[in-house]
A and B are shown apart, each in its own frame.
Chain A
């Protein structure tokens, strides 16, 4: 029997889900191997049990917590998709500011009317079995995981930094071009897509295990930006992961 697969969105831009609707060339083949039972962005159907539940987005409100517990109870395998789900992503930047200031910026005098939680990774609330990193997650990364799960194999893991993939593509180092890039401490797996298009790495796939944060900050500040600015760059996608 084909595995019953579902997609759920929490606080996010839904861009990772959209990337699945963008599987124009492979969509029909994928549907031969899985039963898509719930995907609110594209279909009406609802189901009671999921072999694989894919979760996009951060947990940011009491109702999100309730809903993710409910989905977890009904799922055999639960996968976090994209940086919002994996570590809080850009949403977690709000955690850097005092919550009162955040509320006041948006609500003004009505700031105490509205409840909100810090932006959390899905794994902060329920058990997550697998993750697909990136903002957005790449279609290839998602496909590799899906194929592994359908075949009952272990999906690939990425242990090396973006820099390794960037070197393999023979790109000129962006530091040589006067830019400040997070490639040295960011998890690879993206094929160094941003540096390959001339843009600095923003750290969207998360920080490596055991990163040399001080060394990274030293490299960044020696290339013309302030320590304060260097820290902000590092926190863009990793406010919940990096302690500075």
Chain B
């Protein structure tokens, strides 16, 4: 019993300590962003590796998700004779939910894990403390550009995911299953609301980009500097990001679309 209590206390203290470190890390990073703005070259390099290199996985996944939505949507909607509204269904699901959420999950797996491993290894090979000894703040020089790149890339990647998904839905719905092309697009245009659907979806992806970048960079920075420590930190990035994305998605959806 005492053992159990001791363990509970230990775990609580450890996680609270980590939370506190994570918070200070975030503040420090946000302050560091100011100095990144004056040196855009640091940022463009990261935008390439975090954002541009995620293009392929996001596009292909978006295409397939859209195609599946086209198929499933068609079978359900045609039962009610409402296959004309397929465009609405595909676009609304993508823009509101699947775009931001699935793109963020993929982003955490593709870019987040890479960031954690990179920072963790830099720590393990003493690159970070080497910079500190040269009076170069690694948070400003290394972390902040990556954070900003992740934060900026995520909404764009989510938008790309949704756009390609809509085309995938059209390929299947219109091309294969014979939904009227005009109906597909015009129903979508008249039903989807810019404010309610698109802006809310973008807000979600901004929030996800923020937390995924934060989690990924902090896990790397806080990793135990051994091979095992880095591997565990990388796993934690993907798992914690997934939990956070899905949990936040519920909260954001309730706030945006519910009448609470």
Physical interaction between A and B: no
